[in-house]
Amino acid sequence: MMKRLDRYILRQCFGVMIFVTAALSAAIWLAQSLRLIDLIVNRGLSIEVFLYLAALILPRFLDIVLPIGVFIAVLFTFNRLSGESELVVMRSAGLSQLALAKPVLLLAGIAFLVLMSLSVYFLPASNRAFKDLQFEIRNRFVSSLIQEGTFTTISDKLTIYIRSRDDRGEVTGLLISDSRDPEKPVTILAERGVFVDSPSGARIVMVNGNRQQFDPDTRKLSLLTFDSYTLDLEAWRDAPVVRFREAQERFLGELFSPPADADASLRAVFLAEGHQRLLVPLSAFSFSLIPLACLLPGELNRRGQLKRVLLAIGLAFAFQMLDLGVNNLAVRSPAAIPLMYAVDLLPLVLGFGILLRGGIKLGFRWPLLAARPAH
């Protein structure tokens, strides 16, 4: 019978967790994906690139949303079981508070494995792929940088302005300031043009324009009109060959073994990120025990447990704020890293302690007695 009840509670909690996690992730993902639509509408990238970029940002949302999904699932499920007197029946059948917590701990264990896989591999891998593709878009697909009606600096030697861009990617009203030779700056004007990404690099093919070059020594302006003119952009962009990878893009081994040339502040950032990756999966257990510690002990009330629900929400919010504050402190001072573990393990220890003792007193009348069936 107990195994059947365990499966029943686990199934209820798991369904709510999946629904809440999917709903919150979809809402955040949609809001963040809208920021990427500019790459398609204004910068001419394909829908495939947009979808790939949008998929790469999903793991970072799951890392935040899944512990919240566990909390809401446990809080909703046990509040409903209490309201429908199912908890009364289970307690009357001899189930202790720890026995009722068993399926919740199984749920938290599932979330722990998912979060650990994100921390160890999927989160840094997706962040690295996202940043790499973003870097490539900015440095190879030069056309994606150019916006209408704006002077865009490709490098310290090249500035481009376009008046408009049509659906086919052609641009009109080009103005290019080329100062590769500081002694003889060049200005190019063209009626129309198109950006081409060739194997050898990005180029601009322009038609119906002129090339103006000013010689400061002779104070003369030479003018060359053209029907077609090609400007090679690849050799004049200021892009580093190797991009520095931020802490969010590095795997655990790299975080705990920072580069030898890293300064003290960078090492602190890497260490804080590494320890946070290990603690985020543990937060699934903390978020699951907070509602249990608030709802299970004491006398069950069939008419509702609003005060207990609000208490659980308040404690979860306080825990999250304290966790964020300590994480920010650890970034500035590695001495605060043990405090990160203390904060993350505190709800876990207190939750088990409350369930073992039977209740807590925080201004509510929660007698430390076995629950009585409601009449």
Q: Are residues 58 and 113 in the same domain?
A: yes
> What backbone phi and psi angles, to 5 degrees, belong to 251?
-80, 170
Mean pLDDT of the chain: 83
Average pLDDT on 57-74 reads 93
Would 93 be classed as within a structural domain?
A: yes
At 43, the pLDDT band (50, 70, 90 cuts) reads low
At 105, the pLDDT band (50, 70, 90 cuts) reads very high
In this prediction, residue 144 carries a pLDDT of 58
At 371, the pLDDT band (50, 70, 90 cuts) reads very low
Would 144 be classed as within a structural domain?
A: no
Q: Measured between alpha carbons, how far is 372 from 370 in angstroms, rounded to an integer? A: 6
Q: Are residues 175 and 109 in the same domain?
A: no
Containing domain of residue 35, as a range? 2-139+245-357
Q: Are residues 196 and 299 in the same domain?
A: no
Average pLDDT on 18-37 reads 88
pTM (whole model) above 0.75: no
Is 113's pLDDT higher than 90? yes
DSSP 159-182: EEEBSEE-TTSEEEEEEEEE-SST
Would 75 be classed as within a structural domain?
A: yes
Is 45's pLDDT higher than 90? no
Q: Are residues 263 and 121 in the same domain?
A: yes
Higher pLDDT, 15 or 145: 15
In this prediction, residue 303 carries a pLDDT of 58
Q: Are residues 126 and 263 in the same domain?
A: yes
Would 104 be classed as within a structural domain?
A: yes
Average pLDDT on 197-204 reads 70
At 365, the pLDDT band (50, 70, 90 cuts) reads very low
Which positions ≥6 away from 152 have C-beta within 8 Å?
A: 145, 146, 159, 160, 161
Whole-number percent of the chain with pLDDT over 90: 44
In this prediction, residue 133 carries a pLDDT of 82
Q: Are residues 185 and 275 in the same domain?
A: no
Q: Measured between alpha carbons, how far is 218 from 215 in angstroms, rounded to an integer? A: 6
In this prediction, residue 155 carries a pLDDT of 65
Would 183 be classed as within a structural domain?
A: yes
Residue 252 · residue 120 · CB < 8 Å: yes
Q: Measured between alpha carbons, how far is 271 from 342 in angstroms, rounded to an integer? A: 16
Q: Are residues 8 and 121 in the same domain?
A: yes
- Lowest mean pLDDT, pick from 82-86, 107-111, 198-202: 198-202
Would 84 be classed as within a structural domain?
A: yes
β pairing state of 152-155 and 170-178: unpaired
- Which pLDDT tens digit goes with each residue over 11-25? 999 999 999 999 999
230 forms beta bridges with: 205
The domain tally of the chain equals 2
- Which pLDDT tens digit goes with each residue over 287-306? 999 999 999 887 766 555 88
| Kind plus residue range of the DSSP H or E element containing 228 | strand 220-232
Q: Are residues 132 and 109 in the same domain?
A: yes
Is 281's pLDDT higher than 70? yes
* Joined tokens for residue 96: 């202790």
- Which pLDDT tens digit goes with each residue over 304-340? 588 899 999 999 999 999 999 999 999 999 999 999 9
In this prediction, residue 340 carries a pLDDT of 95
Would 152 be classed as within a structural domain?
A: no
Is 85's pLDDT higher than 60? yes
Q: Are residues 48 and 77 in the same domain?
A: yes
Q: Are residues 199 and 309 in the same domain?
A: no
Is 130's pLDDT higher than 70? yes
- Please name which of 301, 315, 316, 282 lies closest in space to residue 367, comparing C-alpha atoms: 301
Is 364's pLDDT higher than 50? no
Average pLDDT on 77-98 reads 86
Q: Are residues 131 and 257 in the same domain?
A: yes
Higher pLDDT, 362 or 47: 47
Would 147 be classed as within a structural domain?
A: no
Q: Are residues 230 and 250 in the same domain?
A: no
